[in-house]
Amino acid sequence: MQLYNKLSAKERAELIEKAGKDRLTLSFYQYAKIANPHEFRDHLFVVWDQLDVLGRIYVAVEGINAQLSLPADRFNEFKTHLDTIDFLKGVRLNIAVEQDNMSFLKLKVKVRNKIVADGLNDDSFDVTNKGVHVGANDFNALIEDENTILVDMRNHYESEIGHFKNAITPDVDTFRESLDIIEDDLRDHKEDKNLVMYCTGGIRCEKASAYFKHKGFKNVYQLEGGIIEYTRQVNEQNIENKFIGKNFVFDERRAEKISDDVIAQCHQCGKPADVHTNCANDACHLLFIQCDDCKEDMNNCCSVTCKEIHALPYEEQKALRKGQGNSNDIFKKGRADHLPYKKDLRNIFEVLMSNKQ
């Protein structure tokens, strides 16, 4: 019985190309009590591998967080299988705004301590006492209210290429960092302001809203289904779109265009740009924003040093990396001293908060 992916990304891409079928990219999550996450993980892999599902799925005792793609003509089979699982019956599926057959190239189902790395002790507060979920129409009305503070619960590299108008975008690398920053900066508005939050698909706000209610915030709201569901409702119901730029996604597409606005800039030259790339140097792989001109000039690298290394024969590159481990840049998201045009979001946060007071 196959319980793990056995094909490389290249081999899988060739199979997808040969099959010639359209694939559907989607995501979903659900908090639930899973008694044996390892057994549940194996069950999902066996069934989904047979359905040609590819993606990144995290399973924990607290639930499941899934981002995946599958052949469009097998969607009903996939949905039928979800409905056989009690806590996933009728779960909301966030269908991607922009489809790409190569969004995922491997099936990875992993057991984790948590389905989102929030660093919180869930026993210290009631995680089920969540904020009010609002759809696109009510969300638009709320964020126009002068008593509302709108907060982006995503990380700096996500909000840099797209966010809601007038949103506070904390300059953080992790979700956990943002919780303390937001509580501290909004401590004087726990009772007199509406705290409205959003994220990519809604999962981070599920935990954050309960956390902020535990911390004393009285009026807490969250965007139902996140930016993905908001965009679907905007398009289907002809609602005014208040999101500008792109929505960062964690697959090979990297982003979905929500509006035609380009609000970010190339980290190397400062030209308008909003396409993330990983440095081509295998010892770096820094995630950063690069325009087409710099991509050509720098050979898809983040620095002259990386460009020179990337130009070396593969065996020489490999020898340089030997015994050194991965560069710390692999784990950075646009944080590097040699990127002169990385936007600093901390000042944005301070200005927005001063305008709210």
Instruction: Point out the catalytic residue in the list 199, 205, 294, 301.
Output: 199
Residues 6+ apart with CB under 8 A from 279: 285, 286, 288, 300, 301, 302, 303, 306, 329
Helix (H) or strand (E) holding 19: helix 9-19
Question: CA torsion 11→16→20→26, rounded to 10°?
Answer: -170
Query: Which residue, among 41, 67, 47, 55, has the nearest Cα to 228 in the 3D structure?
Result: 67
Q: Could you give the 3-state DSSP secondary structure of residue 69?
A: strand
Q: What residues form DSSP beta bridges with 59? A: 64, 111
Residue 306 is among the residues annotated as catalytic for this protein: no
Backbone angles phi, psi at 22, to 5 degrees: -70, 140
CA geometry: angle 298, 300, 303, nearest 5 deg: 50
Report, as residue numbers or ranges, the catalytic residues.
199
